């Protein structure tokens, strides 16, 4: 199985060993919420990462992100990103409520080529897995790929797989070679929620994640 391959840069890719070395940005960002380790829902093994969307206890407008994160130091940009997600009880209470995988490439000292105004900020690719089909907000250093369906699939495991090199080449015009580190984020979130809009809820699970150089099988988001 790909996520068990020794070339997978994501240690504990199935969350069978608990949280480490995964983390959340909840401690550093007021807009983030933590994840937990689920022991009742899994794609393989006994565990997965659970993101529990719920706006009832805060009724917050604006942007809120539930996510699980990894920082990686590597001498090259891996070729293939893949994994599985599952959703229960999805209630879209606002227009831009969605699932997303984002990969941030942090610039080296000399920065990136001048593809935008400031080459010192990270280059980002964001693959939207489900929920929206247009850009949720304006951002200069992130490119969105709408890879999945508008309607969020529920109560089944859904696979995703992306060619990281191809998408950086297609959307940024080059594949980054000199950088300090990469950050990978698996998210469930909403952006631009207005006061008085409907309640947001949903249980989102990620499991059996992979980042490495094995060849792509079939790019995109699909039941498989």
SS3 of 159-210: EEEEEHHHHHHHHHCCCCCCEEEEEEEEEEEEEEECCCCCCCEEEEEEEEEE
Res 57 pLDDT > 60? no
57 contacts 181 by C-beta, under 8 angstroms = no
Kindly state which CATH superfamily the domain 18-222 is placed in: Galactose-binding domain-like (2.60.120.260)
Q: What is the pLDDT of residues 134-172, one digit of tens each?
A: 999 999 899 999 999 999 999 999 999 999 999 999 999
The pLDDT of residue 58 is above 60? no
Band the pLDDT of 56: cuts 50, 70, 90.
low
pLDDT one-digit tens code per residue, 86-107: 999 999 989 999 999 999 999 8
The pLDDT assigned to 51 comes to 97
What would the pLDDT profile of 206-222 be if each residue is shown by its tens digit? 999 999 999 888 888 98
Q: What pLDDT score does 119 carry?
A: 67
Residue ranges of domains in the chain: 18-222
Determine contact, residues 58/203, Cβ cutoff 8 Å.
no
pTM (global) more than 0.75: yes
47: part of which helix (H) or strand (E)? none
Closest by Cα among 215, 218, 185 to 80: 215
Arithmetic mean of pLDDT over the chain: 92
Parallel, antiparallel, or unpaired: how do β-strands 32-33 and 62-72 relate? parallel
């Amino acid at each position: 199985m790909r996520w068990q391959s020794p070339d997978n840069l994501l240690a504990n890719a199935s969350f069978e060993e608990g949280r480490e070395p995964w983390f959340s940005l909840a401690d550093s960002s007021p807009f983030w919420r933590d994840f937990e380790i689920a022991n009742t829902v899994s794609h393989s093994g006994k565990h997965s990462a659970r993101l529990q969307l719920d706006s009832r206890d805060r009724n917050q407008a604006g942007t809120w992100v539930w996510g699980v994160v990894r920082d990686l130091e590597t001498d090259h940009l891996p070729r293939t990103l893949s994994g599985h997600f599952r959703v229960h009880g999805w209630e879209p209470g606002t227009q831009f409520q969605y699932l997303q995988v984002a990969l941030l490439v942090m610039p080296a000292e000399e920065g990136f080529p001048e593809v935008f105004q400031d080459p010192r900020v990270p280059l980002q690719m964001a693959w939207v897995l489900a929920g929206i089909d247009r850009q949720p907000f304006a951002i200069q250093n992130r490119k969105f790929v709408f890879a999945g369906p508008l309607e969020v699939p529920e109560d089944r495991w859904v696979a995703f797989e992306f060619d990281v090199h191809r998408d950086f080449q297609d959307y940024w015009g080059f594949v980054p070679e000199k950088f300090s580190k990469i950050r990978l984020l698996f998210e469930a979130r909403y952006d631009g929620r207005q006061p008085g809009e409907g309640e947001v809820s949903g249980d989102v699970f990620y499991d059996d994640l992979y980042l490495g150089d094995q060849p792509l099988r079939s790019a995109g988001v699909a039941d498989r």
